[in-house]
Amino acid sequence: DAGVTQSPTHLIKTRGQQVTLRCSPISGHKSVSWYQQVLGQGPQFIFQYYEKEERGRGNFPDRFSARQFPNYSSELNVNALLLGDSALYLCASSEGHPNTGELFFGEGSRLTVL
Amino acid sequence: GEDVEQSLFLSVREGDSSVINCTYTDSSSTYLYWYKQEPGAGLQLLTYIFSNMDMKQDQRLTVLLNKKDKHLSLRIADTQTGDSAIYFCAESPNFNKFYFGSGTKLNVKP
């Protein structure tokens, strides 16, 4: 069975550009979350979506946006990139209904902003 | 309740026990988790504990929870070189968002 898949795995952008990251959850999972992991730190929560609705938002500026599609895949968009946006962006899926809340993570998209 | 703190490094010899500690602030968290991250990979859930439990054992892993002090620990018995990784403590008050610590890098020497 396929796990959480993310694309692209690596990308380089310049300041001011925009980026779109994609995530496909585990089959049957209805919830997708996005996390930013800066080098040397733990993941920081950005968004959670469940059944195409935003269920949670972390402390990130409005330059960050996301959406979830009817097939439960998701995109994270970041506009007007800053050097500080360089990080590993992790997508995680979960079943979504109350349970142990286990998150299943993809391997991430590593974004470098020059 | 978003602060989760961990020590940054731990070095042990193969065969010894490793104990990784974590403190958290959100007393409403229902579950507390330990995740493992190997180089170049995403995070993988190791184990979790309900907030109404004091201890959970799962093969070589033992989780201890002190709710009064908001302290969580992970003990790995008979640590192997393959256990070398970064270990993250995480709490979640509502399953909508998880708060992770900065991670403890475990180095296991042969």
Residue predicted with more confidence, B95 or A29: A29
**pLDDT-based confidence at A100, cuts 50/70/90?**
low
- The torsion angles phi and psi of A103, rounded to 5 degrees, stand at -95, 135
Instruction: Give the pLDDT confidence of A69-97 residue by residue, as tens digits.
Output: 999 999 999 999 999 999 999 999 988 65
Yes or no: say if B91 and A30 are a contact pair by the CB < 8 Å rule.
no
Determine, for residues B97 and A56 on separate chains, whether the beta-carbon distance falls below 8 Å: yes
pLDDT digits 0-9 by tens, A13-40: 999 999 999 999 999 899 999 999 999 8
pLDDT, averaged across chain B: 91
CB B37 within 8 A of CB B88: yes
- Is B92 in the A-facing interface, judged by CB distances under 8 Å? yes
pLDDT of residue A68: 96
Average pLDDT over residues B92-108: 88
Q: Rounded to 5 degrees, what are φ and ψ at B38?
A: -90, 160
Report the alpha-carbon distance of residue B9 to residue B86 in Å, rounded: 9
Substitution target in A6, A7, A45, A47 with the highest count of B β-carbons within 10 Å is A45
pLDDT at A12 over 90: yes
CA B77 to mean position of chain CA atoms: 14
pLDDT band at B2 (very low <50, low <70, confident <90, very high): low
Q: Is the minimum CB–CB distance between B45 and chain A shorter than 8 Å?
A: yes
Kind of pairing between the strands at B4-6 and B9-13: unpaired
Per-residue pLDDT for B92 more than 90? no
pLDDT of residue A99: 57
d(CA B47, CA A40): 22
The predicted-structure confidence for B43-71, as pLDDT tens digits, reads as follows 999 999 988 899 999 999 999 999 999 99
**Residue B87: Cβ-neighbour burial (10 angstroms; 0-12, 13-18, 19+):** buried
Query: Residue B96: pLDDT band by 50, 70, 90 thresholds?
Result: confident
- Is the pLDDT at A49 greater than 90? The verdict is yes
Q: How far is CA B101 from CA A66, A86, A98, A99, B87, in A?
A: 24, 19, 23, 22, 9
Alpha carbons within 13 angstroms on the beta-carbon side of residue B64 total 10
pLDDT at res. A1: 63
Residue A38: per-residue pLDDT: 94
- pLDDT at residue B72 greater than cutoff 70: yes
Which residues of chain B neighbour A43 with C-beta distances below 8 Å? Answer: 43, 88, 98, 100
pLDDT band at residue B1, thresholds of 50, 70 and 90?
Answer: very low
> Do B43 and A101 count as a contact with CB atoms less than 8 A apart?
no
- Closest C-alpha to B35, from B70, B1, B61, B71: B61
Is any Cβ of chain A less than 8 angstroms from the Cβ of B88?
A: yes
Q: Is A101 on the interface with B (CB under 8 A)?
A: yes
Query: Least CB-CB distance to A107: which of B31, B42, B45?
Result: B42
Report chain A's mean pLDDT, rounded to a whole number.
92
